[in-house]
Chain A
Amino acid sequence: MPWGEGMPEKGKQVLLIEDEPHIVEAIRFILTRDGWGVEAHADGADAIEVIQRLAPDVLILDVMLPGRSGYEILQDLRADAATARLPVLMLTARGQDRDRDLAQRYGVSRFMTKPFSNLDVLTSVRELSGG
């Protein structure tokens, strides 16, 4: 199924926190073609500041990041009223049940394991921004 159905409103922003450059490039390509504005950041240590500064509509968050883990960042986001309701799509290469449970507990919006289907990512981002 090709993408392009139900284009998002113009100007919606996705922030991608991911340290693997090839994966960043792939997701950026997929979302940009669908009309999203995509910003990427590779470091976990200052991720919160970047999120607060850019205030994205949807956040895509890797778990194993240099500096700080995705779980910690998620906890901080949910603890802060400004970002408590921010839609967060978590991507991880450690796809065990335990990781999924942990993410649910910390209040993730959606959880996906790598490798992912491009369409799934696109659909998820669309749904999250719509909800």
Chain B
Amino acid sequence: MVPFKILVLVCLAYVIFLFLVAFVVENRARQGRARWLRAPIVYTLSLSIYCTAWTFYGAVGYAARSGLEFLTIYLGPTLVFVGWWWVLRKLVRIGKAQRVTSIADLISSRYGKSNLLGVIVTLLAVAGTTPYIALQLQSISLSFAVFAAETRPGWALPGRDATALWVAGGLVIFTILFGTRNLDANEQHHGIVTAIAVEAVVKLVALLAVGIFVVWVLADGPRGVFDLIEATDVAEWRLQPGRWAGLTFLSAAAILCLPRMFQVMVVENADERHLATASWAFPLYLALMSLFVVPIAVVGLLTMPEGSNPDLFVLTLPLSAGRGDLAMLAFLGGFSSATSMVIVAAIALATMVSNHIVVPLWLRMARVAGEVAPAAGYAGDVRRLVLRARRASIAGVLALGYAYFHFTGGSSALAAIGLIAFVGVAQALPALIGGIFWRGASRNGAAVGLCLGFGIWIYALFLPSFGPDGVIPADVMINGPFGIGWLRPQALFGSEGMDPLLHALFWSLLLNSGAFCLVSIFSFPTPLERLQGAQFVNVFDRAGGTRGWAHGVAEAEDLLVMAQRILGGDAAQGFFHAEAAAQGKAGFLPDTTPEFIEALERRLSASVGAATAHAMVGQIVGGSMISVEDLMAVANETAQIMEYSSRLEAKSEELIRTARQLREANEKLTKLSVQKDAFLSQISHELRTPMTSIRAFSEILRDGADLPLADRHKYAGIIQEEAIRLTRLLDDLLDLSVLENGQVTLHSTSANLHDLIDSALRSAGATAAGRDFAILRDPASEHVGLTTDTDRLTQVFINLVSNARKYCDAAHPELRIRVTERGADVEVDFIDNGSGIGKENQALIFEKFARLTDQTRAGGAGLGLAICREVMSKLGGTIAYLPGQGGAAFRVRLPRRRILPRGGSVAPGAHGAGQGPVAAQG
């Protein structure tokens, strides 16, 4: 008789003990002092989470109800571990090579990192595991109830639901504490694995103890037990071959596909060699666990009162024999079985849910909301998010399990719930096995197969498990939906009379695998899928270091696919064709001989660099992993290629710039050439015109002996005048050339502006008596002291006065001279009262030969204003046309004090040039 109080205390103590074990081991592992933990025996014991409360309690009930059939749930795993250990080895090897974190991750990764598949497998796992967790909660609350029944009245026993709730809450805390302490890259949890190993020992010891007690105390030793067995029909060989085969297959599939089994077997595996130990030790563990199942069932059936729950014989037999301590040990064994399963399952499911559902969703929402943090804070942010997602998922998974337990009322037999869950998770089998053994398996095939199998499982097994009229109406169960007979959930396609479990297993897996194969065959995998597929299927090739050429054609095809992406379709096909021809083969697929691989690598390295090419070819041919060194080399190469291309870019920019400069220079030269032609043409005209008069009149004089004297004088005068005009033109040209070439020498002298204007007017003949040309001045304003090249300045004034005198077309021409001081500058305006210069010509007048009218006789060669502009620029001033003054108006502006740079050479003819016709007349 065990008081309930003590039971609870023992439970708490046991849990605290597990806490301590997990805590100590976790710390030691972090300090790197936990080598002994990585022993094969710990690995083997951790595999025992296969044996849940269902095995611990339910196997006895199973045997009591169905005889030896319970053996099938041990038979499947044993067959896998003994006969199929190489499948497990492949799974473990792939898990390590690909850093797989869960079965969903493995399948998603195998099929081109498809998150769709990850989500499907995750949902499948959640749906398949939820009943199983409910099963554990149910077993714990049932076992509590056993003790409660034995308790004195007056004890406040919590209801069954409440027990389950308390247990679920405690498990959430434990799992979160040890399952999400850190985000390890390998997702390994040393503390938890060790705690589970301890629990494995506890449940084995408990079951063996109960068995020994039953056999040697209750039943007088083995011989007595055999007699009892003979007396009942438990051991009668009621063999149903279909059911046996189906259930064996089912449990074999489960050991591969159950998320928690995958977690301990693949993810938590520390060393591949541990599998070798496990391949015999785990079946041995299973054998020990099943050793006393039949004796306990038989003794229970014979000695316990009619109507007792055979699922609880493990507890009730010692209790009824008054052995409370043994019952307590059995209780702890069952408690261990249940908790270890729930903890590992919750961790495995949480990893899947957070990696495949929560985090992708959060990232997408964050991207939509534009909240994605800058890269620096991003990693830490995601880390926190992932941890939080894990914790929430753990709580969510257990909440689901509790909800299932609550709503199904915990009525079904333990074994039935377990088998339903097995069929659910077994749906991942085709995608899993196909994925690691068949290169042709494609993402679409896996997706369609999984969905079909999942759907049929839900429709034909999971929903009906809630009982008649539970979820599916009884009418549908009997007559099919809408009265369609062949769609009846438990008689699909007219398969009447099958066991519902086998029925669902058969149809779901048949359609699942069928669809998987067919769609895989008829759909074309993406390059990433092909690469991943090769890595998974050929996982052992790379380790041996030998290059197996067994998959020659497939490899050549993959290489061609890859080469096409890099070289382009035509180039790649051409290369493969040529190589095949060189090997004496037709078509595009040469044998993947080392020579060919080398040639391909060389060819690819021209495009992507040697390291990249090697890594890519190695990925397909050698199945080799890309090492960090490879990646560094690839990055190096990429950097070099980028640098080279940026150099090229710079070069081509430079070329473009040079070309533009050349073009501009050429345009300038062309323009200059046109200008030169125009200038020469002008010079020719300006020289030939006076020469024409000179020649014509000199011929007249030569030939005309009879000419009157007056005419002779007149013509000789014209000849002289034109000769002077010629000389002046040449002087102007030389002057301008000197000014333009900057060879002019300037002489700074100081003078009064008034005197300079006087001098200019005198030189221009504007003051000569009898001239009808009025000069208007304001002498007071003109007394401004200037320091500049006064000779040159006077030359400019003379030009302007002469121009006014020549071109002013007023009846009474007058010229106004206005002087204004502006700061350090002085302005001298020359304004006449003629018709002025049209707007369109104002910009032209300072150009060479910009003679606007026909009055050539009145002026020079049209170089005057051009010379003025050059002079003023040399003096640090300007000359400009002043529009809107009534007549032609020019403004000269210059600094009052100007220390002029002295040029080197004295230009010939620099002085006395351009001084107008008056100089000639003088």
Interface residues of A (CB under 8 A from B): 2-3, 19-23, 25-27, 29-30, 42-43, 64-67, 93-96, 113-119
A66 B692 Cβ-Cβ under 8 A: no
A20 B700 Cβ-Cβ under 8 A: no
A20 B692 Cβ-Cβ under 8 A: yes
Residues of B within 8 A of A118 (CB): 696, 699-700, 703
- Known: A19-B856, A66-B853. Is A114-B699 also a contact (CB below 8 A)? no
In the assembled complex, B306 has its CB within 8 A of some CB on chain A: no
Q: How far is the CB of B680 from chain A (nearest CB, A)?
A: 9
Residues of B within 8 A of A42 (CB): 854
Q: How far is the CB of B664 from chain A (nearest CB, A)?
A: 27
Q: How far is the CA of A113 from the CA of B689 in the complex (A)?
A: 10
- Closest residue of A by beta carbon distance from B687: A93
Q: How far is the CA of A95 from the CA of B853 in the complex (A)?
A: 22
A29 B700 Cβ-Cβ under 8 A: yes
Residues of A within 8 A of B822 (CB): none
A23 B688 Cβ-Cβ under 8 A: no
Residues of A within 8 A of B693 (CB): 20, 22-23, 26
Q: How far is the CA of A27 from the CA of B695 in the complex (A)?
A: 11
Q: Return the CB mask of B663-697 against A: 1 if under 8 Å, else 0.
A: 00000000000000000010011111101111111
In the assembled complex, B812 has its CB within 8 A of some CB on chain A: no
Q: How far is the CA of A25 from the CA of B721 in the complex (A)?
A: 14
- Closest residue of A by beta carbon distance from B705: A2
- Known: A30-B700, A94-B685, A118-B700. Is A23-B692 also a contact (CB below 8 A)? yes
In the assembled complex, B910 has its CB within 8 A of some CB on chain A: no
B722 A22 Cβ-Cβ under 8 A: yes
B696 A64 Cβ-Cβ under 8 A: no
Q: How far is the CA of A65 from the CA of B693 in the complex (A)?
A: 17
A114 B854 Cβ-Cβ under 8 A: no
In the assembled complex, B152 has its CB within 8 A of some CB on chain A: no
B688 A117 Cβ-Cβ under 8 A: no
Q: Is the contact region of chain A dominated by helix, strand, or loop, or is it mixed?
A: loop
B692 A116 Cβ-Cβ under 8 A: yes
A93 B692 Cβ-Cβ under 8 A: yes
Q: List 16 A-B contacts (CB under 8 A).
A: A20-B857, A22-B693, A22-B718, A23-B689, A25-B718, A26-B692, A26-B700, A42-B854, A64-B685, A65-B854, A67-B854, A94-B685, A96-B681, A115-B696, A116-B692, A116-B695
Contact of A21 among B685, B688, B696, B857 (CB under 8 A): B857
B688 A20 Cβ-Cβ under 8 A: no
- Closest residue of A by beta carbon distance from B682: A94
Q: How far is the CA of A20 from the CA of B692 in the complex (A)?
A: 10
Residues of B within 8 A of A94 (CB): 681, 684-685, 688
A19 B703 Cβ-Cβ under 8 A: no
Q: How far is the CA of A49 from the CA of B691 in the complex (A)?
A: 30
Residue of B696, B697, B699, B700 with most partner-chain A CB within 10 A: B696
Q: How far is the CB of B721 from chain A (nearest CB, A)?
A: 8
Residues of chain B in range 718-751 having any CB-CB distance to chain A below 8 Å? 718, 721-722
B688 A93 Cβ-Cβ under 8 A: yes
A93 B685 Cβ-Cβ under 8 A: yes
Q: Return the CB mask of B232-253 against A: 1 if under 8 Å, else 0.
A: 0000000000000000000000
Q: How far is the CA of A94 from the CA of B679 in the complex (A)?
A: 11
Q: How far is the CA of A94 from the CA of B683 in the complex (A)?
A: 9
- Closest residue of B by beta carbon distance from A63: B685
Residues of B within 8 A of A21 (CB): 857
Q: How far is the CB of A86 from chain B (nearest CB, A)?
A: 24
Q: How far is the CA of A70 from the CA of B693 in the complex (A)?
A: 20
Q: How far is the CA of A77 from the CA of B801 in the complex (A)?
A: 41
Q: Which 8 pairs show the lowest CB-CB distances between chains A and B?
A: A66-B854, A26-B696, A93-B688, A22-B693, A114-B692, A115-B695, A115-B692, A93-B685
Residues of B within 8 A of A22 (CB): 693, 697, 718, 721-722
Residues of chain B in range 825-862 having any CB-CB distance to chain A below 8 Å? 853-854, 856-857
- Closest residue of A by beta carbon distance from B851: A66
B696 A116 Cβ-Cβ under 8 A: yes
- Known: A65-B854, A94-B681. Is A114-B700 also a contact (CB below 8 A)? no
B699 A117 Cβ-Cβ under 8 A: yes
Residues of A within 8 A of B699 (CB): 117-119
Residues of B within 8 A of A115 (CB): 688, 691-692, 694-696
B688 A114 Cβ-Cβ under 8 A: yes
Q: How far is the CB of B706 from chain A (nearest CB, A)?
A: 10
- Closest residue of B by beta carbon distance from A33: B704
Residues of A within 8 A of B854 (CB): 19, 42-43, 65-67
Residues of B within 8 A of A95 (CB): 684, 688
- Known: A42-B854, A115-B694, A116-B696. Is A20-B681 also a contact (CB below 8 A)? no
Q: How far is the CA of A119 from the CA of B684 in the complex (A)?
A: 23
- Closest residue of A by beta carbon distance from B714: A25
Residues of A within 8 A of B692 (CB): 20, 23, 26, 93, 114-116
Residues of A within 8 A of B721 (CB): 22
Q: How far is the CA of A22 from the CA of B722 in the complex (A)?
A: 9
Q: How far is the CB of B259 from chain A (nearest CB, A)?
A: 97
Q: How far is the CA of A88 from the CA of B681 in the complex (A)?
A: 23
